[in-house]
């Protein structure tokens, strides 16, 4: 009897071991399967944007750099800055004691940047569409034309999210040109002379995209 139960126990242990081994052979279901995401190259893309800042035309210059996967999805960083003088009449800050709250001509300084994402539809076609998005922090300041009090006091950190739509032309495998538009949504301005609406607006964009190590 003891031999019977011992043999039965060994048989059960063997069966469990085989069952566990068989289970490990099965692939665990995941959202992204092995080999489904493939590195397709890196890129650098200088870009200019034309859109209103306050009540004046603003020209932004900057660019993006990052890596691409499956020739569709790009992940990188972007940085842009206002390069022309967008002027306004600003008042001295109310908390600036010792000076009269007189008005003075000031120029707007505006930079922003952060995470740059982009998805391409039918990227193998000569002409196709892209959806780019830039999300990150920014800084806005006012610089006085006569003295530096506005530059030192009138400044604010902001948050920027800029989704867009672009038409991309594959001129060469390593060089592409994008033309499109984006909306610059700004939030968090604490300037007395400028609010979020003054800094938010539609932009028209031109991008030159250079690809490297493309497979």
Chain centre to alpha carbon of residue 102: 39
Q: Please report whether residue 89 resides in a domain.
A: yes
Give domain status of residue 164, yes or no.
yes
Nearest residue to 170 via CA among 159, 178, 160: 178
Instruction: Give 21-70 pLDDT, tens digit per residue.
Output: 554 445 555 545 666 678 888 999 999 999 999 888 889 999 999 999 98
Whether 11 is in a domain gets the answer no
What integer pLDDT is reported at residue 117 of this predicted model? 96
Mean pLDDT check: name the lowest of 92-96, 134-138, 140-144, 156-160: 92-96
Report the 10 Å Cβ neighbour count for 21. Answer: 9
Q: How many residues does the chain have?
A: 215
CATH of the domain at 202: 2.40.160.20
Residue 103 resides in a domain? yes
Q: How many CB atoms lie within 10 A of CB 99?
A: 10
Greater model confidence, 5 or 117 = 117
- pLDDT of amino acid 30: 53
pLDDT of the residue at 59: 94
pLDDT of residue 20: 55
What letter would DSSP give residue 145? Answer: S
- Residue 5 in any domain: the answer is no
Helix (H/G/I), strand (E/B), else coil: 176: strand
Residue 192's domain comprises: 38-212
What pLDDT score does 5 carry? 45
Query: Could you tell me the pLDDT band of residue 169, with boundaries at 50, 70 and 90?
Result: very high
pLDDT of res. 57? 87
| 146 contacts 104 by C-beta, under 8 angstroms | yes
Mean predicted lDDT score pLDDT of the chain: 80
Residue 197 inside a domain? The answer is yes
Structure-token match 């900057």, residue found: 62
Quick: pLDDT tens for 67-91: 999 888 999 999 999 998 767 776 6
At residue 102, the pLDDT reads 54
Q: Is residue 4 part of a domain?
A: no
- pLDDT value, residue 8: 47
pLDDT at 76: 96
What's the pLDDT tens digit per position in 94-136?
555 544 455 567 788 899 999 999 999 988 899 999 999 999 9
Label residue 71 left, alpha or beta by phi (over 0 means left) and psi (-120 to 50 means alpha): left
- Does residue 99 form part of some domain? yes
User: Could you please report the per-residue DSSP string of 23-91?
Assistant: HHHSPPP-SS-TTSS-EEEEEEEEEEEEEEETTEEEEEEEEEEEEEETTTEEEEEEEEEE-S-EEEEEE
Query: How large a percentage of the chain has pLDDT more than 90?
Result: 49
Q: Select the more confidently predicted residue: 134 or 194.
A: 134
Distance CA 183, CA 56 (A): 16
Per the structure, the count of domains in the chain is 1
């Amino acid at each position: 009897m003891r031999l019977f139960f011992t043999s039965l126990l060994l048989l059960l242990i063997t069966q469990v071991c085989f069952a566990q081994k068989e289970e490990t052979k099965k692939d665990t279901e995941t959202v992204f399967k092995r080999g489904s995401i493939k590195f397709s190259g890196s890129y650098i893309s200088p870009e200019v944007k034309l859109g209103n800042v306050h009540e004046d035309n603003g020209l932004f210059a900057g660019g993006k750099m990052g890596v691409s996967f499956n020739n569709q999805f790009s992940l990188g960083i972007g940085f842009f800055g206002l390069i022309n003088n967008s002027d306004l009449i600003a008042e001295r800050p109310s908390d600036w004691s010792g000076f009269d709250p007189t008005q003075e001509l000031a120029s707007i300084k505006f930079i922003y940047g952060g995470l740059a994402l982009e998805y391409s539809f039918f990227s193998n076609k000569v002409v196709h569409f892209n959806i780019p998005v830039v999300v990150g922090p920014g800084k806005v300041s006012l610089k006085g034309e006569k003295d530096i009090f506005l530059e030192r006091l009138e400044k604010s950190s902001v948050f920027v999210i800029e989704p867009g739509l672009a038409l991309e032309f594959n001129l060469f495998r390593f060089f592409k040109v994008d033309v499109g538009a984006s909306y610059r949504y700004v939030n968090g301005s604490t300037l007395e002379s400028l609010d979020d609406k003054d800094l938010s607006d539609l932009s028209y964009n031109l991008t030159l995209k250079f690809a490297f190590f493309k497979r």
